[in-house]
Structure 1
Amino acid sequence: MAEADVTLRFEIVDGQIPDAANVVRALTAYIEVLKAAGDVVAPGSHMEVGLAGVEDGSDIFKFVLRKTETFSENLKSGMSEYPLVSRAAITLGGLISASAIVIGMENLLSDDPKLPPEQMEIFEENNRLLRESNDLQKREMEFFGALQEEPAYKSIDIIRPYGGGTINTVPREEFAARSGLWVTDPEAEADADSQTITDTWNVVLIKPTLVPEPRRWRFAKDGLEFSALMKDQTFLDAIHDKTLPVTLAEGIRMRVEVKYREEYVEGGWIPVVGSHRITKVVDPLPPGTTPPLFARPDPPKE
């Protein structure tokens, strides 16, 4: 049996059994994530995702990745393996894009110590391309949306076997944020262990999602990248109407009002994964929008 390139391990809530249709939806969505990542890392290749094994009552699924340059080549000479560096990047597909990465997390994901040093530069370039893929982001959101709809799923482990194994765990609390949905009221009164922060940040645009509806965008603040759900509908409508005074592109400077939640963990306040939202774009402003009467460079926390 072929060695798995990536393994999904579903952690199930005690006493519950996932609906079979939801299991199929989640697996199908994850295969689409892998294929989207394969298109980014090796454009022009055709990917086949095979099931290498199923364990523990169908809670563990092992996948292998194979490629051909064209469909006709597949018929003539069969499938070939992706290089190790490509497989390592592709199997990060469900973890690395903008859908739920918080400040600093990508530094951890992009440094894979299992790869030979001479291949790290290629691996990091592949990661950059994955982060910039809107199609991959869409596929990831569909995958985590499928997980969110099945109440029996407590968490999911994405296991990458290179060099001894790397396990990335995504708990259920993150499914909604990664799918672009919200299951809690962000305006609800915070308890003693959490708080909602509203601030105004000067940021650099890294990757916009140019559709007239809320989607996660990528920015950088003080050199650190982060993602946030764009919720300023006036600004989004201006994108659709093509009335913005500037062209949105990587590197432009923006000023935004951002809202996010923090939790008190081990003596410090930590931003909650996926909670960042852009509630208002202060600059650049669409035509006819009234700017704030008084600019507050450092507004107080709520």
Structure 2
Amino acid sequence: MSADQLSLYLDLEEGQKADLEVAARAAIALTATVREIAAFIDPFSDVKLELIDSSEGSLFLNTKVRFLSAAGPKEMTLYAVLFVCLTWIGTSAVGFVVEKIEDHVWEQAFGKDFAKLSDDDKKDIADLVARAIEANAGKKPSERLYAELSQDPAVKGVAVTKDRNKKPSSIVPRSEFASRSGGAVRNERVIQRRTTRGIRKVILVSPVLVPGKRRWKFRIGKEEFGAPVHDTQFVDAVLSGKFPIVMKSNVEMTVDLEVTEELNDGHWEAMDYNVWRVLGAPVQFQGEQTSFPLDKK
């Protein structure tokens, strides 16, 4: 197992697929975590994570860590960087006390590579790990990773591992995502909205017969919604009696309708409506109903 191998493991609910956008943001947070740790341990280092491939089932994102410093590649420093990463995105910190790392934690983290490390190697790595953890290097971006993954209900656990061929033995459960996220990243999440505008046929449910921007109630199909009518010419005509709208059921109007939607759990949901112009509406005159397009002279 090479020192530069690192996989982000997402434990998924049975039969579920990971949200691609969430997984991508989590991978970016992992990259930021590794870079921040490396910058603390070796300020002259340059780190790049390269995606090798991914495995399905529960999702493995397998990467290769390119680590260079002014003095060239340093395997021991890379081990320290990856160990701190495993500490924040996993449960390896359980075996970490002051400047000593228990043998079973080494083996859990590095597998067969553990046997190649001398006592001096382990002491050097432990010293680097101790200083990085004390300084919270990489902790903030790792919190962002948990916050991002909490947005996907398909993800029930996460881990970072060096062995891409088997499920990690130490997985952080979803129940710990909130406490590990720091609680602030949810507010940083960008809300995705879109606005569409076009000519629509709507059914008038209830008008507002007082001045102001109160919402008239309309219906399209079975969906009712409220919208202010910004067409002052039409509203003034209705309120003054110059345009007596028909007071009956299923009154159809033609309007310039703007709809603002928000992306929520992969689905667009209508959040706001505005009627900018009324292009046609039935008018009652001597008992007759006719279409009355207000834009015609």
Larger-Rg structure = 2
